[in-house]
Amino acid sequence: MAVDTPALPNNVEELQRLIRQLRADHEGKVQSLQANLQAERNERIEYQNKALEYFEELQLMRRRLFGRSAERLSEADRKQLWLFNEAETIAATENQPSEPQRVPVRCHTRAKRGRKPLPADLERVEMIHDIAESEKNCGCGQPLKRIGQEVCEKLEIIPAQVRVRRHVRPKYACRACEGSGEEEKAAVRIAPAVKQLLPKSIASPALVAYMLVSKFCDALPFYRQERQFQRMGVDLSRQDMANWTMAVARRIQPLVQLLRGEIYSGPVVQIDETTLQVMQEPGRANTRQSYMWVYRGGQPDHPVVDYQYHPSRSGEVPLKVLDGYRGFVQTDGYEGYEELGRQPGITHVGCWAHARRKFFEAKVVSKQTGSADEALTSIDKLFAWERGLRAEELAPRSSSGAGVSRWNLYSRSCAPGLKAGSHRCRRPRCWARPSGTRWPSGPSWCGIWTVPG
C-alpha cells in the first residue's frame, strides 16, 4: 500500500491507526501466501500419494497376471521377518543352560524304494506261464522240483459295460373257471410292479448314478457322455440326460433336506459363492452372471457340502438359508455377509488365509519394512502352531470342556500374542477389514476372527 508522506496526518492517534492498518494488511497478505503455499504442498503430496497408489496397483496387477500364485515369501523376506522375532530368539538363547543336555533320539525308518505295491483288496486273476512237460525232467533222469516262482503284477481295467435289465412279471389265470371260483380276487394275478426311481423311463438307478458321478465328480458334460454311450452302441441324447437329472433332483429333495439339517447341526457353517453363467435361462440374458452358493458344515469328522444356485449375489440369500441357525458362520471379506453378524445367535468370523493375503499383497507391492511384515510374522506363527497341533492328532475342542485340545493349547499359548492389538499397513486401504459389526470375545487380528479349532 503506497502512502504519500506529505499527506500523513500530524495527529498521533491517526498515525497509530494508520500503522495498525498497515500491519493488518501485511499479516493478511502473509497468511494468504502461507495458505496458498500449504494448499500447493498438500496438492503435491496428494498427487505423489496417488501416483504411488497407482504404481502399487500396477505392480499388484502384474504379479496377479504374470507372477507366482503361491503366497510364499522369498528367502530374503523371511530373513527380514526374523527381525520381529529377534527379541524372542535372543531371549530363548540366553535362557538355555550352559551344559548341553543329552536326550535319547529314536532311530528312524526309511521308506523302501521302488514301485508302490498294488492294493491287496483288488481281485487277482492268476495266469500260469509254465514250461513244457518235456522240460520238467533233468538230464540225470530225475523229475524237476518246483523251488519257487517269479510274480509280476499288471493293473488291468474292465471297461464299462452296458446291459439291459429286464423286469419280467408272469401273469397267472385259471382257464377252467376263468376266475369265477374266487370272485374276491382278480382273475389275472401278477406281482406288483417294482418301484422305480424314474418311472416310465429307460434309466435305471445304476445308469443315473453313473451319469451324475461322471458329470458332477469327474466334470464330464453330457455331450461327452453322449459320445461315450454312442461308442458303446447306445443312443442316449443329452436332452434325456438333462431331463433325468432334473427329475432326480426333485425326487431326492427329502434327502437334500436331511443333509441340510445335518449341515446346520455342527458348530460352524462355512459359506462361499462363485460366479456361474447359465445359458438360455428364462428371463435372463446369456451374458448375465449367476452364482453358485456353497455351504459346508456338519460334524468335523463328517462334513456335508450343499450347492445352491441363485441368480443374485445379494446378502439376503444367506440370510434366508441360515434363518434360525445358531453358531459360527465363516466367510471371506465380501460385504454381503456383514448382515449375518447382526443376526441374534450368529457369530460372524473371518478367514486367516484371506486376512494374510491382504498383508502379503501390501508386502509385495511395497518393499519397505513395516506393519505388514509384523502381521505376516504373527499369522505364520499361528499357522505353524496349528500344523504342529494337527500332527499330534489333538481334537479341535474337548466336548466336555476338559482335557487337552487344540483350542485349549491355542488359547493358552497363541491367543495372548495375537491380542496385542490391531496392526495397520502403511496406507489405510491395506487394512484387513472387519468381517462383521458384532465383536465376539476371542482371538482377534485386525477384526478378522478365527473359528475355534
Only one residue has cell 468381517, namely 435
Residue 161, C-alpha cell as written in the block: 459295460
Q: What is the pLDDT of residues 2-12, one digit of tens each?
A: 555 557 778 88
Task: Report pLDDT for 104.
Answer: 66
Q: How many CB atoms lie within 10 A of CB 361?
A: 19
DSSP string over 151-181 = -------PPP----------EE--TTTTTTT
Contact 434, 342 (CB under 8 A): no
Q: What is the pLDDT of residues 290-314, one digit of tens each?
A: 999 999 999 888 899 999 999 988 8
Task: Report pLDDT for 21.
Answer: 87
Q: Are residues 355 and 343 in the same domain?
A: no
Give domain status of residue 319, yes or no: yes
Task: Report pLDDT for 112.
Answer: 66
What are the Cα distances from residue 349, in Å, to 273, 294, 354, 381? 16, 17, 12, 20
Only one residue has cell 446346520, namely 264
Task: Give the three-class secondary structure for 364.
Answer: helix
Cα angle for residues 90, 92, 97 (degrees, 5° grid): 115
DSSP lists the bridge partners of residue 71 as none
Give domain status of residue 308, yes or no: yes
- What is d(CA 261, CA 241) in angstroms, rounded to the nearest whole number? 29
Only one residue has cell 509385495, namely 364
Q: Are residues 271 and 311 in the same domain?
A: yes
Contact 317, 329 (CB under 8 A): no
DSSP secondary structure code for residue 324 in this structure: T
Q: Are residues 390 and 432 in the same domain?
A: yes
Residue 114, C-alpha cell as written in the block: 521302488
Q: Are residues 435 and 369 in the same domain?
A: yes
Task: Report pLDDT for 114.
Answer: 75
Give domain status of residue 263, yes or no: yes
Residue 340, domain CATH: 3.30.420.10
Give domain status of residue 315, yes or no: yes
Least confident of 127-131, 198-202, 227-231, 383-387: 383-387
Give domain status of residue 265, yes or no: yes
Least confident of 44-48, 78-82, 449-453: 449-453
Q: Are residues 410 and 443 in the same domain?
A: yes
Q: What is the pLDDT of residues 317-365, one digit of tens each?
A: 999 988 888 889 999 888 888 888 888 889 998 888 888 888 887 777 7
Q: Which residues contact 266 (CB under 8 A, 6 or more apart)?
A: 297, 298, 299, 300, 303, 327
Average of per-residue pLDDT across 173-180: 78
Q: Are residues 366 and 412 in the same domain?
A: yes
Length reported for the chain: 453
Q: Are residues 337 and 409 in the same domain?
A: no
Residue 125, C-alpha cell as written in the block: 486273476
Task: Give the three-class secondary structure for 194.
Answer: coil
Give domain status of residue 218, yes or no: yes
Contact 449, 349 (CB under 8 A): yes
DSSP lists the bridge partners of residue 290 as 276
Q: Are residues 407 and 433 in the same domain?
A: yes
The strand pair at 346-349 and 444-445 is best described as: unpaired
Residue where one domain finishes, among candidates 328, 349, 370: 349
Give domain status of residue 71, yes or no: no
Contact 295, 351 (CB under 8 A): no
DSSP lists the bridge partners of residue 445 as 448
Q: Are residues 328 and 380 in the same domain?
A: no
Nearest C-alpha neighbor of 249 from the set 186, 317, 306, 302: 306
Q: Are residues 413 and 445 in the same domain?
A: yes
Residue 240, C-alpha cell as written in the block: 434325456
Give domain status of residue 44, yes or no: no
Q: How far is CA 271 from the centre of its chain?
A: 9
- What is d(CA 392, CA 188) in angstroms, rounded to the nearest whole number? 69
Domain residue limits at 361: 351-453
Residue where one domain finishes, among candidates 298, 331, 349: 349
Q: Are residues 263 and 246 in the same domain?
A: no
The total number of structural domains in the chain stands at 3
Helices (H), 304-345: 316-321
List the strands of the sheet with 346-349, edge to edge. 302-310, 290-299, 268-276, 327-330, 346-349
pLDDT > 70 in the chain, percent: 74
Residue where one domain finishes, among candidates 349, 374, 394: 349
DSSP secondary structure code for residue 137 in this structure: B
Average of per-residue pLDDT across 242-253: 94
Q: Are residues 341 and 413 in the same domain?
A: no
Cα dihedral value 155, 160, 161, 162, nearest 10: 180
Q: What is the overall mean pLDDT for the chain? A: 78
